[in-house]
Structures are given as structure tokens and as C-alpha cells.
Structure 1
Amino acid sequence: MNLNITGHHVEVTQSIREYVTTKLDKVIRHFDNVTSVSVILSVEKLKQKAEVTVHVRGKDLFVESEESDLYAAIDGMIDKLDRQILKHKQKSADHDREALKHQSPEA
């Protein structure tokens, strides 16, 4: 999995990089088809913004979160991403079950 963390108007320190990495590892464990992850951390006046794009097989998941604190924005982003990944995983599983159910048995 490729992980790219960039900052706009904010320096991505080692502690921020480790924080994002550990949080993402917990979420990505749910889904093993992740090819790459791109995280953008930005500051605009009093708003701290965290956005992530997760590339999985067949789909790109995008999440963003704005808070007054960068770590809170990262936590909000991770929570949203976790829900999206679980929803995508459930849809994939349901689709696979439907495909198996509709296959005709061989005579």
C-alpha cells in the first residue's frame, strides 16, 4: 500500500505522520484491497482540514473533515473513512452473495 501524506500551509511533522499512519492502519485492516492512500492536511485561517482518498479495487473513497484542531480533524476523517470502508465492504459482500445466488446450478 502506498501512503502519501502532504501538507498545505502546514508542516507535516514526524508526530503528525505517525498519528495519521497509526490511525489509518486500524481502519485499513478492515479491507485488504487498498492499493494507495493519499492524505492532505491543510490550514485555512482558523480551520484545520484533513482529507483522504483511498484507492480500492474498483472504487475511490474520499473523505474530508474540518475542525478547529488538526488532530480532531484527523480523528473525524478517520471515523468517516471507517464507516465508508465498512459500507463498501458490506456492499461488495452483498453483491458477491447475490451473484452466487443467481448462478444456475450445473446439471
Structure 2
Amino acid sequence: MQINISGHHIELTPAIKNYVNSKLDRLERHHDRITSTNVILSVDKLRQKAEASIHVSGKDFFADCESEDLYAAIDLLTDKLDRQLIKYKEKMRNHHR
């Protein structure tokens, strides 16, 4: 899985990059055909925002979250993406002929 992390109005430290990578590695447990992931971290006054788009063999998923803490926003983001991947995988399994 290729992960691209960018920041708007925020300096990306190695700690933040490692945290995002460790959280997104959890997504590979549910779906092994994730090809690319784009993560955008931004700050807007007191709100920390995390956005991500994932490309999975023919399907794109998008999620964004806001929180007062950047790490909490990343946690919420990965939870949303995790739920979307599980739902997609169940749909593919149930509709398979």
C-alpha cells in the first residue's frame, strides 16, 4: 500500500507520519487490495482536520474528520475508513454469484 501524507498549515513531524502509518496499516487487515492512500492533515484555527481517500481495486473511499486534537482526528478517520471497508467487503461477499 502506497501512503501519501501531506499537511496544510501544519508541519509534518516523523511522529505524526509514524502514527498515521501505524493506524492505516490496520486497514490492510480487512482488505488486502488497497493500492494507494492519500492523507491530508490540516489546521483551521482551533480545529484539527484529517482527510483521506483510499483506492481499492476499482472503488474509491473518502472520509474526513475534525477534532480539537490531531491524533483524535486521525483515530476517527481510520475508524470511518475501517467501517467503510468492512461494509464494502460484506457487500461483495453477499452479492457474489
1:80 matched residue in structure 2: 80
Shift of 1:26: 1.1
Per-residue CA shift, 1:58-88, capped at 9, x if unaligned?
A: 2100000000010010011011111011001
Unaligned runs of 5+ in 2: none
Runs of 4+ in 1 over 6 A off after TM superposition: none
| Aligned pairs for 1:34-49 within 5 A | 34-49=34-49
Shift of 1:28: 2.0
Unaligned runs of 5+ in 1: 100-107
Higher-Rg structure is 1
> How far apart are the structure 1 equivalents of 2:68 and 2:28?
26
CA RMSD in angstroms comes to: 0.7
Shift of 1:29: 1.7
Q: Which has the higher contact order (CA 8 A, sep 6+)?
A: 2
> How far apart are the structure 2 equivalents of 1:87 and 1:59?
13
1:66 matched residue in structure 2: 66
TM-score for both structures, normalised by structure 1: 0.88
2:91 matched residue in structure 1: 91
Q: How many residues align?
A: 97
